[in-house]
A and B are shown apart, each in its own frame.
Chain A
């Protein structure tokens, strides 16, 4: 059984979105952020014989790796642009890494929770929650009643509540005895 690729794939599915968001907050470009994160996965693969069974340990390593690479990119930019305040910006990001990590994880959780809602709910949730549209606007745009919009919003919240339940574990696989 080829386990290394499958294990890393599982880690990837779990954490790619959060890591890309994290890198994006440093470097500000999606393609650069994706490159950084993909490189981090690739180096982890190359350096490791056996993938650890501890998801938190792997994620910690990946976050460190992506952070270091991101800071490098920022320093290169500073040097290139010849700013007087040499490392001010990168130092700030350095200090707030923990909060950035938390922000990234939160955004990834929200994204996964919303994007897996049933289609009617999801569309209404995206339009109201993310785009800030009013019930009447949404009703007109989708050709449904305001009541239906309200119902869909309600359902969206209900479903999200259960998706965001604290019993869901961060590990690859949870067991209920």
Chain B
């Protein structure tokens, strides 16, 4: 009973069969497989059966992976060997690791944007007003009069701010409930390594990525305008005026204004980089001083000197709000820049970044060490992390022969 590449490919084929998206070629492959045995036919019947699918989906969507992982670690530590030790506190070891990671993320760090040309040194790009000068250490909400609220210190539930606004706060979000008559301007800031969600007074949901800020009015009567620096994923609530006319929602960034009516899109607007606006659903128009461009779902508009539009994989763009890094054939310097925003490390100014590309899907819940280790598994790159400074070593030219784990285990017993 072996799991291997072949089995994986069969599973993919079966999935496509289940969804009815086999290509003509795959259809032939599939039919050959069907004919190999009655068991195969039975299996094909099962994956097409709606009751089976429903049951499977319900089972799998009810799984809490974080909880499951915690249980695994607890079970692992409660091994026979550990029980013999006197006064053994399994959790202490874990605590050190998390504490170290937390400290690493909160430390104030200089942001070093990266150039892909090998002979350019990192700190040449550091402009006078570094973006990170404005990045706080905690998620902060600033009111019109300058009052600051550090959201992690506030209790969950209903909260009333000093200007009369009421919010409902959860661990990962705030939702605007009641706004006072007088119009206020609020700004939400995220630090390195944390993303946060805000439900604006009109019901629009905004996922704000790390090292970003969003400024908006409250209440939002009439047209809805917000100001974004950084990256955010918008799910805009549809709003109509009294006459039934759709009220637009506008995102103002340094390089362009993005105008929408009821839709889902991602905006990537970090200082010093081109603006990238990606439309997932609905309809959006990008406006600069010179031109205007309408986007269709799946399209990304890039604003640099001018607007250019291309078709993209929206999954890759949306991955961050689902708590993942997703890179599709991206160069290493791009990957490192995204990692820097999440983990806040510095790049050694003398280090060279090889122009290699990677495809990876990695959870953002992992430590930086874990992510770097995964990139290293490719055998294409090797890192050295000293405190908060990252260096890239030359990759090993000779790879070591690897023994499958099963052989090792059998020889042990």
Chain A residues engaging chain B, CB cutoff 8 angstroms: 1-3, 5-7, 9-10, 12-13, 16-17, 20-21, 24, 30, 34, 37-39, 41-42, 45-48, 51-54, 56-61, 63-64, 67, 96-99, 101-103, 105-111, 113-116, 118-121, 126, 129-132, 155, 157, 159-164, 166, 168, 170, 172-177
Contacts and interface: CB of A to CB of B under 8 A. Distances in A.
A57 B406 contact: yes
A177 B409 CA distance: 34
B366 A174 contact: no
A174 B15 CA distance: 21
Contacts of B117: none
B119 interface: no
13 contacts: A13-B363, A20-B59, A24-B59, A42-B79, A63-B1, A118-B280, A118-B318, A130-B53, A162-B313, A164-B12, A166-B9, A170-B5, A175-B357
Given A41-B75, A52-B408, 19 more contacts: A2-B97, A6-B367, A6-B370, A12-B68, A16-B65, A17-B63, A47-B409, A56-B2, A57-B404, A57-B406, A60-B2, A97-B1, A101-B7, A103-B43, A107-B53, A113-B15, A159-B315, A162-B313, A174-B359
A12 B281 CA distance: 32
A177 B75 CA distance: 41
Contact of B72 (A41, A115, A170): A41
B95 interface: no
Contacts of B14: 102, 106
A115 B18 CA distance: 16
B358 A101 contact: no
Contacts of B402: 52-54
A51 B4 CA distance: 17
Given A63-B1, A116-B322, A164 B15 contact: yes
Contact of B11 (A24, A64, A105, A114): A105
A164 B356 CA distance: 25
9 closest Cβ pairs, A-B complex:
A6-B370, A52-B405, A42-B75, A105-B11, A57-B404, A59-B3, A170-B8, A1-B369, A111-B60
Contacts of A2: 97, 367, 369
B264 interface: yes
B145 interface: no
Interface stretch (B105-113, B122-130, B373-381): B373-381
Contacts of B374: 6, 10, 172-173
B38 to A, nearest CB: 11
B65 A105 contact: no
Interface of B: 1-5, 7-12, 14-16, 18-21, 39-40, 42-43, 46-47, 50, 53-54, 56-57, 59-63, 65, 68-69, 71-73, 75-76, 79, 81, 97, 235, 264, 280-281, 297, 313-315, 318, 322, 329, 356-360, 362-363, 366-367, 369-370, 372-375, 377-378, 380, 385, 402-406, 408-409, 412
Contact of A45 (B4, B60, B76, B412): B76
Nearest to B282: A120
A131 B58 CA distance: 11
A137 to B, nearest CB: 15
A3 B404 CA distance: 18
Given A20-B60, A105-B8, A162-B313, A6 B19 contact: no
Q: Which of B9, B357, B360, B404 has the most CB of A within 10 A?
A: B404
Contacts of A57: 404-406
Given A52-B405, A54-B404, A97-B1, A16 B68 contact: yes
Nearest to B18: A110
Contact of B75 (A21, A39, A173): A39
Contacts of B329: 176
Contact of A160 (B19, B56, B68): B19
Contacts of B372: 1
A71 B163 CA distance: 64
Contact of B46 (A38, A103, A170): A103
B360 A173 contact: yes
A21 B322 contact: no
B297 A175 contact: no
